[in-house]
A and B are shown apart, each in its own frame.
Chain A
Amino acid sequence: MSEASNDQYYVPHLAKWPIVGSIGLFVTFMGAIQALNSQTSITPWLMFVGIGIILWMMFGWFGDVIKESEEKLYSTQVDTSFRMGMIWFIFSEVMFFAAFFGALFYARTFSVPWLGGEGIGLATNETLWSGYEGVWPTNGPADLNGRFEIIDPYHLPLVNTLLLLASSVTITIAHHALRANNRKQTIIWLIATVLLGAVFIFFQAEEYVLAYRDFNLKLSSGIYGSTFFMLTGFHGLHVTLGAIMIAIITIRVIKGHFRPESHFGFEAVAWYWHFVDVVWLGLFIFVYIL
């Protein structure tokens, strides 16, 4: 087919992937619930089947889009739609993290001091939790799960910060290389990015092991444990996804996809990676340092 013109908009005619994706989500969640409620023996299998369906959907759907893109069915206007889609998707992710950051800030500025008797919390402290001082970090007045230590921000987390910052640089270099149509450079720098991401995840895992085994810092360690693990955990999940996405992009570059002037898939992944990076900076400051 010829190069798409801007007078016409590519509207795919039929698509089976959305319904497959919906079924996949449904099966995954049902499986997860079964596992959580641990009622039946089909327990986690259902969830894995669901995840399998979702993966199938993703490969199929993205495959179709890539094919259409390589066939040059997309006009620049379609490209803009994709961009907007990605930008607003990332914005929604930002808001998701905002909920957890909000929980952290609220706990630190309001609920923990109140439990410790500050401000309007005087009666609370006197009547229910006398002796509790409400200093952060805390596992709460009931000392849930016992004493714990916190991770020193200037060891692993600092290294991880540098790793992620470096990975932001490498992916930008890769992007410039792609625009200069220097494929070899692109591939090298992409691989470097994936590696940096992988090392980050490895260290993060290491940190969790440390926390659980040596520091007695657990998900159940009161509000500190809750916010610490939920924030870093969701972030780690996003890094993992981002790294997989970059790996796929790398394979696509190796296969000769993308053009110097049009490579939305590449850019979307790069934006996502920067977003993950920025969230980490927030984490590093508010979760580890302060």
Chain B
Amino acid sequence: MKKMQLKFMMLLGGLLVSTLSAAEYGMNLRKGVTEFSETAFGLHTFTLWICIVIGIIVFGAMIFSIFAHRRSKGAKADQFDHSLTAEVIWTVIPILILVVIAVPATKALIKMENPTTDDGKRLAMDMTIKVTGYQWKWKYDYMDEGISFISSLDRDHDLARQKGSGVDVTTIENYLLEVDNPLVIPVDTNIRFLLTADDVIHAWWVPDFGWKRDAIPGFVNEAWTNVQTPGTYRGQCAELCGKDHGFMPIVVEAVSKEDYAKWVADQKGEQEVEAQMVDTEWTKDQLMAKGEEVYNTQCAACHQATGAGMPPAFPALAGSALVNGDPAAQIDLILNGKPGTAMQAFGNILSETDIAAAITYTRNSFGNTAGDVVQPATVKSMKQ
């Protein structure tokens, strides 16, 4: 019996030690790269230590009692049953401890929610990024630059993560934490984030920034950050949002201000080219090629790469009456979605070209025989 208790204590001790050394193994909270994340880390460490000390005292007293006041050692039971002094002490001391924790916590929270400069003025924000959560991707709008794009799980990761893909995922770097289009931000800039969602609640979380905030459909939440160190920071959606909740990562690249300016210029150029493409006439082959790509990144999560869907939640597109019928009805559905279901309004997400391509692709694949071609211009005209 005694041996067992020793083992038990050793186990507890071991757990304690592993907590303390956890930081070294990268298993503690991350310190992060913003002022706020460092404050949170400090508060975490401080509270953790307080808890450990209280734990040592309480468990210590208990374990001492277990060894010293046992009948097998001939202990006779005392019969005292209360002590006002003791009870007052162990009510008051925890209250004091809690106050000591609450003060820095309050300060930290105020700093996060009500950022001010050193002289008490409200901190000015240098730029605004709107983040919109969709099942299961993020859309980023640079409000000041007019740039916007969709960011979803990298295609290779997406293929590897499928059940029975046969890929050894341990060989993939940053498995599940890689996206096609990362969010690019300049360092040393006060960035305001506006968070919202289109379908269900998501939460935008990059641990190194020190916070997560819910993206709620129909509402906009605000948060801010200021990253000092250039680098790539990874995070994930942190609110259950349906079957692929685990597969909507976030990648943020913090770059120098100069690099950022260059990136912005590139993006603007690309978007202009895109815009011009809408009005050109596309061949079926072009549309099919682009459509396959769009379909696989945007639609396959629900309707499957084979078009078989996952009925009844996600209908099959193969053989669907809608897909094989009047193209106008399908364009309308893709543009406006179907409220109350996971079928989202792609009119705000994809370009006219992408939509036209995806539609053309669905009408000519999976055994569908509509055979026709939907031009970007048609989609554009229906969008108005």
Interface residues of A (CB under 8 A from B): 114-115, 120-121, 123-124, 127-128
Query: Could you tell me the distance in whole angstroms from the C-beta of B10 to the nearest C-beta in chain A?
Result: 49
Cα separation A114 to B219 with both chains bound (whole Å): 8
Cα separation A282 to B101 with both chains bound (whole Å): 42
Cα separation A250 to B29 with both chains bound (whole Å): 69
Residues of A within 8 A of B219 (CB): 114-115, 121, 124, 128
Q: Offer 13 A-B interface pairs, CB within 8 angstroms, sorted by A.
A: A115-B218, A120-B222, A121-B219, A121-B220, A123-B194, A123-B221, A123-B222, A124-B196, A124-B220, A127-B130, A127-B194, A127-B196, A128-B219
Q: Is the interface of B mostly helix, strand, loop or mixed?
A: strand
Cα separation A124 to B218 with both chains bound (whole Å): 8
Residues of A within 8 A of B194 (CB): 123, 127
Cα separation A37 to B84 with both chains bound (whole Å): 62
Cα separation A248 to B218 with both chains bound (whole Å): 49
Residues of B within 8 A of A124 (CB): 196, 218-220
Cα separation A124 to B130 with both chains bound (whole Å): 11
Residue of B nearest to A140 (CB): B218
- From 212 to 232 in chain B, residues with beta carbon under 8 angstroms from any chain A beta carbon are 218-222
Query: Could you tell me the distance in whole angstroms from the C-beta of A256 to the nearest C-beta in chain B?
Result: 57
- From 320 to 363 in chain B, residues with beta carbon under 8 angstroms from any chain A beta carbon are none
Interface string of B108-150 (1 = CB under 8 A from A): 0000000000000000000000100000000000000000000
Cα separation A128 to B130 with both chains bound (whole Å): 11
Residues of A within 8 A of B196 (CB): 124, 127-128
**Interface residues in B, total, Cβ within 8 A:** 8
- Tell me the number of A-to-B contacts counted with CB atoms below 8 Å: 22
Residues of B within 8 A of A121 (CB): 219-220
Interface residues of B (CB under 8 A from A): 130, 194, 196, 218-222
Query: Could you tell me the distance in whole angstroms from the C-beta of B138 to the nearest C-beta in chain A?
Result: 16
Residues of B within 8 A of A123 (CB): 194, 220-222
Query: Could you tell me the distance in whole angstroms from the C-beta of B124 to the nearest C-beta in chain A?
Result: 16
Query: Could you tell me the distance in whole angstroms from the C-beta of A102 to the nearest C-beta in chain B?
Result: 19
Residue of A nearest to B141 (CB): A127
Query: Could you tell me the distance in whole angstroms from the C-beta of B125 to the nearest C-beta in chain A?
Result: 11
Residue of B nearest to A126 (CB): B220
Cα separation A123 to B219 with both chains bound (whole Å): 8
Cα separation A121 to B219 with both chains bound (whole Å): 8
Residue of A nearest to B128 (CB): A123
Cα separation A123 to B221 with both chains bound (whole Å): 8
Cα separation A120 to B222 with both chains bound (whole Å): 9
Cα separation A121 to B194 with both chains bound (whole Å): 11
Query: Could you tell me the distance in whole angstroms from the C-beta of A237 to the nearest C-beta in chain B?
Result: 27
Query: Could you tell me the distance in whole angstroms from the C-beta of A38 to the nearest C-beta in chain B?
Result: 14
Cα separation A114 to B221 with both chains bound (whole Å): 11
Cα separation A156 to B218 with both chains bound (whole Å): 36
Known: A121-B219, A121-B220, A123-B221. 5 other contacts (CB 8 A): A120-B222, A123-B194, A124-B196, A127-B130, A128-B219
Cα separation A114 to B218 with both chains bound (whole Å): 11
Closest 7 pairs (CB-CB, A-B): A124-B220, A123-B220, A124-B219, A127-B220, A123-B194, A123-B222, A127-B194
- Residue among B130, B196, B220 with the most chain A CB within 10 A? B220
Residues of B within 8 A of A127 (CB): 130, 194, 196, 220
Cα separation A124 to B220 with both chains bound (whole Å): 5
- Residue among B130, B196, B218, B222 with the most chain A CB within 10 A? B218
Are A128 and B222 neighbours in the complex by a CB distance under 8 Å?
no
Residues of B within 8 A of A115 (CB): 218-219
Cα separation A127 to B222 with both chains bound (whole Å): 12
Cα separation A121 to B221 with both chains bound (whole Å): 8
Query: Could you tell me the distance in whole angstroms from the C-beta of B23 to the nearest C-beta in chain A?
Result: 36
Query: Could you tell me the distance in whole angstroms from the C-beta of A236 to the nearest C-beta in chain B?
Result: 28
- Residue among A114, A127, A128 with the most chain B CB within 10 A? A127
Cα separation A83 to B196 with both chains bound (whole Å): 51
Cα separation A115 to B221 with both chains bound (whole Å): 12
Query: Could you tell me the distance in whole angstroms from the C-beta of A271 to the nearest C-beta in chain B?
Result: 40
Residues of B within 8 A of A128 (CB): 196, 218-220
Residues of B within 8 A of A120 (CB): 222
Residues of A within 8 A of B218 (CB): 115, 124, 128
- Residue among B196, B219, B222 with the most chain A CB within 10 A? B219
Cα separation A124 to B219 with both chains bound (whole Å): 5
Cα separation A121 to B130 with both chains bound (whole Å): 15
Cα separation A246 to B79 with both chains bound (whole Å): 58
Residues of B within 8 A of A114 (CB): 219
Residues of A within 8 A of B130 (CB): 127
Residues of A within 8 A of B221 (CB): 123
Cα separation A127 to B221 with both chains bound (whole Å): 11
Cα separation A90 to B209 with both chains bound (whole Å): 50
Query: Could you tell me the distance in whole angstroms from the C-beta of A25 to the nearest C-beta in chain B?
Result: 27
Residue of A nearest to B219 (CB): A124
Residue of A nearest to B195 (CB): A123
Query: Could you tell me the distance in whole angstroms from the C-beta of B144 to the nearest C-beta in chain A?
Result: 14
